[in-house]
Amino acid sequence: MIKVSSLTILLLALAAISAQNLTGYPPRDEVPDVNSPQVQAWLKEIDLTGVPAIAPYPPGDPTPACPTAAINANDCIRGCQSCNGDDLFECTAPNTWGVTFDDGPAPSTSTLLDYLRNQKISASFFVMGSNVIMYPDILKREVAEGHHLASHTWSHHALTTLTNAQIVAEMKWTEKAVMDITGLRLKYMRPPYGEINNRVRFVLKRLGYVVVDWTGDEFDTLDWQPIPESEKIARFTRSLDAYAASPRTKGFYCLEHDITPEGVSLAQKLVPLGVARNISFASVAGCEAGAAAYQNSIATPSASLPGTATATAGTGPSRSQSASAGSVTSSVTAKVPGAASHTGGVALSVASVFVALVASILLA
Ligand SMILES: [Zn+2]
């Protein structure tokens, strides 16, 4: 009986952690309310003068249908017009696989982090605000182990279906959640489903964001599709063979996800295919090594994990693309003053103390 009671109390304590982490943030997986005082304050800070007059598209399942009327070329819709605008869609570094994972963090992310650490590969994680507040410790681990964080919105809706104010809310709440937990202000983002047009680009730019798409459908690993893994591996092998036969003057960005065990499992089977073709690996920060990795950081995180030798692309077996000076450590420790108010990190610490207290009472 005592054991059952102890377990119950501990479970309640763990539930308290989750509850406290959610304090102050919008409901998960929903477009945040644009009428909240916080979003209204953010909207006052942003000048959207000149935003293209493109109406939000009707919601689709999950992506909107392409407009049936003649599409204005100035809309530059990625999904309907294959128009990339000024998005980044190639890794600037030659012979480099820009490693990106979307939709996390999630419990399956931990397995992936173990693997990437063993392989000495640094990746960019395009995180969802809704998941960031659920798994703040995984987010912190990503930063601590030399990975790069970027935004994938709060609730994963197609941004082309949202109003300008809703786009601001999606981006700023995610930015705040990551800032509260890590002190880092995100700079790069990937739109859910790759859905973007010039109105969305304009709003994102006013928020200081740089858009990163994946290089093309051949670099979509299809880890999200319910087809046999062997088919995905065969298809991606053909993509890598084609790339390996090219001059490799620029690298590529892939589309992968860390939100399911299946995606994480596939990732561990695809990396060796790149290694076998002598392709280097880098996060977006490593691919864009001349630029700051975050809006509040002038230092670019090292694309290499601590103790990893860097190498010039295409000349050696190193798994990582070398990056410019600076280290992730300096970014991690650069906590922003005032960011501690009702933060997930603080909430977690309070809850952790509570758990420790309960445990000590039970063990006494
Ligand atoms: Zn996604």
Q: Does a structural domain hold residue 30? A: no
Percentage of the chain surpassing pLDDT 90? Answer: 67
80-89, 113-122, 264-273, 313-322: the lowest-pLDDT one = 313-322
356 and 260 housed in the same domain: no
Q: Does a structural domain hold residue 248? A: yes
21-25, 99-103, 150-154: the lowest-pLDDT one = 21-25
11 and 104 housed in the same domain: no
Mean pLDDT of 322-334: 34
Strands 256-257 and 100-102: parallel
Tell me, what's the pLDDT at 67?
Answer: 74
Let me know if 257 is a catalytic residue.
Answer: yes
Mean pLDDT over the full length of the chain: 81
194 and 93 housed in the same domain: yes
Q: Report H helices in 96-216.
A: 109-119, 129-132, 136-144, 164-182, 198-206
9 and 83 housed in the same domain: no
pLDDT tens, residue by residue, 34-66? 999 999 999 999 999 999 999 999 888 888 888
Q: How confident is the model at residue 263 (pLDDT cuts 50, 70, 90)?
A: very high
Structure tokens at 195: 């859905």
Q: Does a structural domain hold residue 201? A: yes
Task: List the catalytic residue out of 147, 152, 157, 257.
Answer: 257
Q: How confident is the model at residue 302 (pLDDT cuts 50, 70, 90)?
A: low
Q: Does a structural domain hold residue 328? A: yes
20 and 84 housed in the same domain: no
Q: Does a structural domain hold residue 94? A: yes
Structure tokens at 92: 């600037």
Answer whether residue 79 shows pLDDT above 90.
no
Residue 257 alpha carbon to ligand 1 centre in Å: 7
282 and 248 housed in the same domain: yes
326 and 351 housed in the same domain: no
Q: Does a structural domain hold residue 63? A: no
pTM, rounded to two decimals: 0.79
Mean pLDDT of 321-342: 33
Listed as own residue / partner, the contacts of 348-355 with beta carbons closer than 8 Å and 24 or more positions apart are: 348/17, 348/20, 348/21, 348/136, 348/137, 350/20, 351/13, 351/16, 351/17, 351/20, 351/21, 352/17, 354/13, 354/16, 355/10, 355/13, 355/14, 355/17
Tell me, what's the pLDDT at 59?
Answer: 87
Residue 89 alpha carbon to ligand 1 centre in Å: 16
Q: Which domain holds residue 325?
A: 75-333
233 and 352 housed in the same domain: no
CATH number (domain holding residue 138): 3.20.20.370
pLDDT tens, residue by residue, 173-226? 999 999 999 999 999 999 999 999 999 999 999 999 999 999 999 999 999 999
214 and 82 housed in the same domain: yes
149 and 248 housed in the same domain: yes
Concatenate the DSSP letters of all residues of 75-106 into one string.
G--HHHH---TT-B-S-SSTTEEE-EEES---
Looking at the structure of the chain, the number of domains it has is 2
Task: List the catalytic residue out of 87, 102, 213, 223.
Answer: 102
253 and 218 housed in the same domain: yes
- Identify whether the C-beta of residue 282 lies closer than 8 Å to the C-beta of residue 320: yes
Q: Does a structural domain hold residue 39? A: no
127 and 262 housed in the same domain: yes
Residue 356 alpha carbon to ligand 1 centre in Å: 36
Q: Does a structural domain hold residue 33? A: no
Give, as one character, the DSSP assignment of residue 323: -
Residue 249 alpha carbon to ligand 1 centre in Å: 28
From the number of C-beta atoms within 10 Å of its C-beta (0-12, 13-18, 19+), residue 343 rates as: buried
Cα 122 to Cα 331: distance, rounded to the nearest angstrom? 15
Residue 156 alpha carbon to ligand 1 centre in Å: 6
